[in-house]
Amino acid sequence: MKVTIIGAGYVGLVTAACFASFGNDVICVEKNRERISKLNSGVSPIYEPGLDELLTENIKSKRITFTDDIKKGIDFSNIIFLCVGTPQDDNGKADLSQVEEASRQIALNLNEFKIIVEKSTVPVNTHLWVKKTINRYAKKDIKFSVASNPEFLREGSAIKDFTEPDRIVVGVEDSESEKVFRELYKPLTDKGFPLLVTAPPTAELIKHASNSFLAMKISFINIVANLCEKSGADIETVAHGMGLDKRIGRSFLNAGIGYGGSCFPKDVKAFINMGEEFGLNFNLLREVDKINSDRRAHFLKLVESVLWINKDKTISIWGLAFKPNTDDVRESPAIDIVKHLLESGAKIKVFDPVAMGSFKRLFPESEQLIYCSDMYEPLKESNALLIVTEWEEFKKADLKRVKELLTIPIIVDGRNIYDKDRLRELDIEYFSIGR
Ligand code: NAD
Ligand code: UGA
């Protein structure tokens, strides 16, 4: 089958690479020329485990091509996936300008029947706006169908999430579109992965409700972590004990410095706004959002309670990405933490295995902020080490070496990656969340 992807970001590139690896011919339209030239020279603009290999293989076999020519992309196939960004606007609503722009571009180039698929995360009934826009701007009276096929991949495990999904959700208006989706996803349904076919608004809502529910689990466990800190209970064992109940499940009950990334923060806010547009009170999610924003201040307060004064101290930070296995720093807790520590006069030395380039664009290197090329390098002459992202290499760190390198052996761990008894044995002052 031939497939068109609009937007070569995290979702667009993974979708393109995976569809190509199923044997489809894929064209990826991207308006950022720098991105296109990188891709055409075989360099992935993002870090995602397994993506480079999959892209190289499929570019070589000519199953994927890239272009900035939207007409070429639309002429190429009869199924067009919108994988453009849907960031947050100034009022917390979803900014759908990229979806609207892409819909207009499709309309202006529509020449025969096409299925236009929203893969981007959008508020319920956005498909109606896509339809209206195409009808308004299309030059000829050509039939088309709009469908919703939300994406549930996580950064850092995107290829696996795409090729081994818990479910594929497809919202369609007609049986013709359903047939096309069934064929496209056959390599996955043949392996037993479930495909749920529904109407477009239901599919749109499943996506926002899923992300908001996962965010709610995280904020729930974080507020329980606060209670553990006050009462002397241990959050890790509480989460384990709760998670043994199959109805609850252990995943997404890791307490810490809260959720970041380009999705949960904006999707929770967009869901609140959307609910309120329909006259519903979404205070439940307002609280989820508030608990999450308070996590960074909570962590900084912990740091202050340990160091007393930050000014003139040298502090090491391990981790800048919003989660491990990605170079994405969008809404990363590290942003607020670094900003606050710089403002309070500390000197900061940081290390992240892949996200330092993205972080440097926000916080350039200076006398007060040093980027280090090795995880042990920042520790020399540091008064404390803060753990902000739970990369595997930090979990496996040589803690004896860490202790020797730090001027004062203090670790403040925002992700609970170490066994506190082992740290006590090593005589490291160890502070973590909810324990
Ligand atoms: P992104 O910002 O990384 O990528 C979007 C890309 O679309 C950009 O490269 C941009 O230049 C391009 N673009 C925008 N308008 C275009 C146009 N008219 N023509 C060609 N290219 C255009 O975004 P992302 O992280 O891939 O997210 C995309 C959507 O998928 C969002 O709605 C997001 O909420 C959703 N989503 C993201 C993830 C994730 O893990 N990042 C997972 C599931 C769903
Ligand atoms: C999330 C969802 O998990 C995906 O299903 C969804 O497709 C995606 O958003 C999206 O819509 O974009 P992602 O943001 O890539 O994926 O990563 P997650 O693994 O969900 O982590 C999100 C944030 O929550 C991270 O900052 C992580 O550190 C934090 N988190 C996660 C916790 O604090 N505790 C947990 O138990 C789990």
**How confident is the model at residue 42, as a pLDDT?**
82
Alpha-carbon torsion (365, 305, 375, 358), positive or negative: negative
Considering every ligand atom shown, identify the ligand nearest to the alpha carbon of residue 212 and give its number. 2
Look at residue 41 and tell me whether its pLDDT is greater than 90: no
Nearest CA to ligand 2 atom 22: 259
Residue 316 CB–ligand 2 contact under 6 Å: no
> Sheet of 369-371: strands edge to edge?
369-371, 347-351, 314-318, 384-387, 410-413, 429-431
Q: What's the gap between Cα 304 and its chain centre?
A: 29
Any residues with Cβ below 6 Å from ligand 1, and which?
A: 6-12, 29-32, 35, 83-86, 98, 101-102, 105, 120-121, 151, 153, 155, 262-263
Look at residue 47 and tell me whether its pLDDT is greater than 90: yes
Query: What digits encode the pLDDT tens for the residues 62-109?
Result: 999 999 999 999 999 999 999 999 999 999 999 999 999 999 999 999
Strand 168-171 relative to strand 79-82, pairing: unpaired
Residue 154 CB–ligand 2 contact under 6 Å: yes
Cα-to-centroid distance, 322 and ligand 2 (Å): 9
> CB–CB of 84/98 below 8 Å?
yes
Where in the sequence numbering do the catalytic residues fall? 263
Residue 253 to residue 236: CA distance in whole angstroms: 9
Residue 263 CB–ligand 2 contact under 6 Å: yes
| Residue to mutate (ligand 2; options 11, 161, 166, 218; most atoms within 8 A of CB) | 218
Cα-to-centroid distance, 13 and ligand 1 (Å): 9
Nearest CA to ligand 2 atom 16: 154
> CB–CB of 28/70 below 8 Å?
no
Residue 328, both tokens: 């994405």
In Å, the largest CA–CA distance within the chain is 75
Report DSSP state, residue 90: T
Residue 382 to residue 370: CA distance in whole angstroms: 12
Cα-to-centroid distance, 106 and ligand 1 (Å): 17
CA atoms within 13 A on the CB side of 38: 14
Mean pLDDT of the region 218-234: 98
**How confident is the model at residue 196, as a pLDDT?**
98
Cα-to-centroid distance, 375 and ligand 2 (Å): 24
What b/e string do you get for 302-336 counting C-beta neighbours within 10 Å, with b at 16 or more?
bbeebbeebeebbbbbbbbbbbbbbbbbbbbbbbb
Look at residue 260 and tell me whether its pLDDT is greater than 90: yes
With cut-offs at 50, 70 and 90, classify the pLDDT of residue 216: very high
What average pLDDT does the chain have?
97
Look at residue 292 and tell me whether its pLDDT is greater than 90: yes
Look at residue 171 and tell me whether its pLDDT is greater than 90: yes
Mean pLDDT of the region 410-422: 97
Mean pLDDT of the region 368-377: 97
| Residue to mutate (ligand 1; options 206, 210, 262, 328; most atoms within 8 A of CB) | 262
| Residue to mutate (ligand 1; options 4, 10, 14; most atoms within 8 A of CB) | 10
Mean pLDDT of the region 400-426: 97
Among residues 93, 134, 140, the alpha carbon closest in space to that of 117 is found at 134
